[in-house]
Amino acid sequence: KKRIVSGVQPTGSIHLGNYLGAIKNWISLQNAYDTLFFIVDLHAITLPYETQQLSKATKDTAAIYLACGVDASKASVFVQSHVRAHVELMWLLSSATPIGWLNKMIQFKEKSRKAGDENVAVALLTYPVLMASDILLYQSDFVPVGEDQQQHLELTRELAKRVNYLYGGRKWKKLGGRGGAIFKVPEALIPPAGARVMSLTDGLSKMSKSAPSDQSRINLLDSKDEIANKIKRCKTDAFTGLEFDNPERPECNNLLSIYQLMSGKTKEEVAQECQNMNWGTFKVLLTDSLIDHLHPIQVRYNEIMSESAYLDRVLAEGATKAADIADATLNNVYQAMGFSRR
C-alpha cells in the first residue's frame, strides 16, 4: 500500500480552509492508502503561543480529525511530539539544508513580517525542515495539503533528493542498505477545489488560524449564530449577479466555491443556480449550507470530547505505530551518515 501523511497545527481553531484543503480529503484516502494523520504541535511553537493552551488545542484538533471522519481503525492518528524521531531527524536534515532554500520560503517571509523582529525565532525559519522530517520519516508517497504548502513540499522533495545524493547511492549499498535511496521522494496531493480558501474579509489573502480577526474565517466549531453573523458581515462587491473566476471578484469566487463544496453540487450547477442572484439571497443559501454541513461534525466532536479516555487511547496507539516506522528510517539515516552504532 502506498503511504500518505498529513497534519494540522494546533495553533487555533480549525477552519474551513484546513478542512477543505486538507482534512476532508483525508477521509476518502484512508480506505485505499496506509495513512498517518498527526497534530503538528512542534510546529505550533514557531510563533509566540500560550503554554496553557497547547495541550488542549492538541486534543481538540485530534477530536476534530475523528469528528470529520478520520477512522482510527484505518489511520494512525497521533501527536507529533509523542514520536521523538521527528525532532531528531530534523537535526540531521538541517545539516543538509542550504540556508538559502529557507530564506526563499514565502510563509517565512509573510509570518516573520507580521510577527515583528522580536518574535521571529530560528524555528520559524527552520519550520520547513521539520515538515520535511515529518514526511520523510514515513517514506511517504503522497502528502495531501492546501496550496500554501506547495513550496514547502517542493523543498521536502529537493531535500530528499539531496540526502539521497549525499549519503545514499553506492556508499549506502556498501553499508548493507537496500541499495536504493534513503528517502522516498514524496508528491503533494492538492485538491482540485478548496486548495486555497480565502479570508471572509479579504478575498486576496488565505483563510488562516493565525489571522488576528476571527471574522475572517469560519471555524468548524462555530455556532449557527456565529456562522450567520460572519456570512452576513463578510466582504462582497457591487457587481450584479454572481460568477466564478472573475479576477476582479475574488470574494465572489471564494464564496461560490465554499457554497459548491458545502452543498456537494458541481461548479456548473452552482454557476447556473447563482448567476442572477443578489448577495442577500445567496448569503442565506450559503449560511444554510455551512450549518447543514458542519452540524454533524460538531455533534460528533462533542461526543468524542466527552469520552476523553477513548481519544487518549487512539493517540497512544497511533504514536506507537508511527514510532515503529519512524525509528526504522531514523536508524537508517544515522547509519548512512556515518554515525557509530548504539
Closest CB 138 distance from ligand ATP, rounded Å: 16
Q: How far apart are CA 135 and CA 316, in angstroms?
A: 20
Nearer to ligand ATP, 10 or 168 (CB): 10
Query: Across-strand partners of 108?
Result: none
Question: Strand 142-144 and strand 187-189: pairing?
Answer: parallel
47 contacts 124 by C-beta, under 8 angstroms: yes
In the sheet with 3-8, reading across from the earlier edge strand, the strands are 76-79, 34-39, 3-8, 142-144, 187-189
Is 111 among the catalytic positions?
Answer: yes
Closest CB 137 distance from ligand ATP, rounded Å: 17
Beta strands (DSSP E) in the chain are 3-8, 34-39, 76-79, 142-144, 187-189
Residues that bind ligand ATP (CB under 6 A): 8-9, 11, 17-18, 20-22, 145-146, 148-149, 195-197, 206-210
Nearer to ligand ATP, 140 or 164 (CB): 140
Query: Across-strand partners of 35?
Result: 4
Question: Strand 34-39 and strand 187-189: pairing?
Answer: unpaired
Grid coordinates representing 80?
507529533
Q: What is the DSSP letter of 219?
A: B
Q: Which of 111, 184, 230, 283 is catalytic?
A: 111
Q: What count of Cα atoms within 13 Å lies in the side-chain half-sphere of residue 289? A: 20
Is 232 among the catalytic positions?
Answer: no
The distance from CA 174 to its chain's CA centroid, rounded to whole angstroms, is 38
36 contacts 4 by C-beta, under 8 angstroms: yes
Q: How far apart are CA 111 and CA 208, in angstroms?
A: 11
Nearer to ligand ATP, 15 or 249 (CB): 15
Q: Which of 59, 184, 206, 230 is catalytic?
A: 206
Nearer to ligand ATP, 146 or 318 (CB): 146
Q: Which of 59, 209, 230, 283 is catalytic?
A: 209
Is 206 among the catalytic positions?
Answer: yes
Nearer to ligand ATP, 22 or 29 (CB): 22
Positions marked active-site: 111, 206, 209
